Structure 1
Amino acid sequence: MHTNYNLPENITDILYNTKRKDDDTLQELIKQGGYVPPQIDLLIDAISALSMGKNVLLKGPTGAGKTKFAETLSNLFHQPMFSVNCSVDLDAESLMGFKTLSYEDGKQQIEFVPGPVTSAMNNGTFLYIDEVNMAKPETLPLINGVLDYRRTITNPFTNEIITAKEGFNVIAAINEGYVGTVPLNEALKNRFIVIDVPYLEGEQLKELIQTNTRLTDQTTIDLFVTLSTDLIRAVYQGKLSEDAASIRALLDACDLSDMIPPKRAVLRAIVDKLDEEREREFVINLADTLF
Structure 2
Amino acid sequence: MLDFLKEEGVDPAVIEGIAAFRAAHPVPEGMAQRVPDPKYRYYGREVWNQAATVLLCGENLLLAGPKATGKNVLAENLARAFGRPCWDVSFHINMDASYLIGSDTFNGEKVVFAPGPVYQCARYGGFGVLDEINMAKNEALAVLHATLDYRRCIDVPGYDLIQVDPAARFIGTMNYGYAGTRELNEALVSRFAVLDLPLISEDDMNKLLRHHFPRMSPRYAGQFVQLFYDLHKKADSAEISARAVDLRGLLDALRLMERGLDAASALDLCITNKTFDPYEKTLIRDVIAARIPKNLDRAKVFPG
TM-score bracket for this pair, using the shorter chain length: 0.7 to 0.9
Q: 2:240 aligns to what?
A: 240
Q: Could you tell me which runs of 5 or more consecutive residues in structure 1 were left unpaired when the two chains were aligned.
A: 1-6, 20-30
Which one-letter code corresponds to 1:52 in the other structure?
C
Shift of 1:213: 4.7
2:60 to 36, 55, 59: 55
Distance 1:131 1:214 in 2: 33
Task: Check 1:172–1:17 CA distance in 2 against 1; reply closer, same or farther (3 A cut).
Answer: closer
2:42 maps to which residue?
Answer: 35
Quote the residue 1:81 is aligned against.
Answer: 86
In structure 2, what is the equivalent of residue 115 of structure 1?
116
Contact 1:33–1:211 at 8 Å: present in 2 too?
no
Which amino acid in 1 is paired with 2:168? F
TM-fit CA distance, 1:16: 2.7
Q: How many pairs does the alignment contain?
A: 267
SS in 2 for 1:150: coil
* Per-residue deviation, 1:18: 9.8
Q: Which runs of 5+ in 2 are unaligned?
A: 17-37, 293-304
Q: Deviations over 1:251-272 (max 9, x none)?
A: 1112112121112111101111
Cα distance in 1 between the residues matched to 2:128 and 2:212: 25
Give the distance between the partners of 2:142 and 2:56, measured in 1 at CA: 24
The reply on whether 1:16 has 2:21 as its aligned counterpart is no
Using the TM superposition, give the Cα deviation of residue 8 of structure 1 relative to its aligned residue in structure 2, in angstroms.
Answer: 4.9
* RMSD between superposed Cα atoms in Å: 2.5
User: For 1:233-289, what per-residue CA distance to the aligned partner results, in whole angstroms no more than 9, with x for missing partners?
Assistant: 112212233332121111111211212111211110111111333332221111222
Deviations 1:101-141 (A, max 9, x none): 224xxxx1112221110000000111100000001121111
Tell me which amino acid in the other structure corresponds to 1:97.
G
With a CA cutoff of 8 Å and minimum separation of 6, indicate the structure with the bigger relative contact order: 1
Indicate the residue corresponding to 1:3 in structure 2: none
* Other-structure match for 1:279: 280
Distance 1:18 1:152, change over 3 A: closer
Separation in 2, partners of 1:201, 1:230: 13
Task: Return the offset for 1:174.
Answer: 0.5
Amino acid at match of 1:203: D
Partner of 1:269: 270
Output the CA distance in 2 between the equivalents of 1:121 and 1:67.
20
Question: Matched residues in 2 for 1:167 and 1:13: separation?
Answer: 22
Tell me how far apart the structure 2 counterparts of residues 160 and 153 of structure 1 sit (CA, whole Å): 8
Deviation of 1:143 after TM superposition, in Å, equals 0.7
1: CA distance, partners of 2:2 / 2:223: 36
- Partners of 2:69 and 2:14 lie apart in 1 by 27
CA–CA distance in structure 1, aligned partners of residues 277 and 138 of structure 2 = 30
What percentage of residue pairs aligned between the two structures are identical?
30
Separation of aligned partners in 2, 1:118 and 1:185: 22
Q: What's the TM-score, normalizing by structure 2? A: 0.81
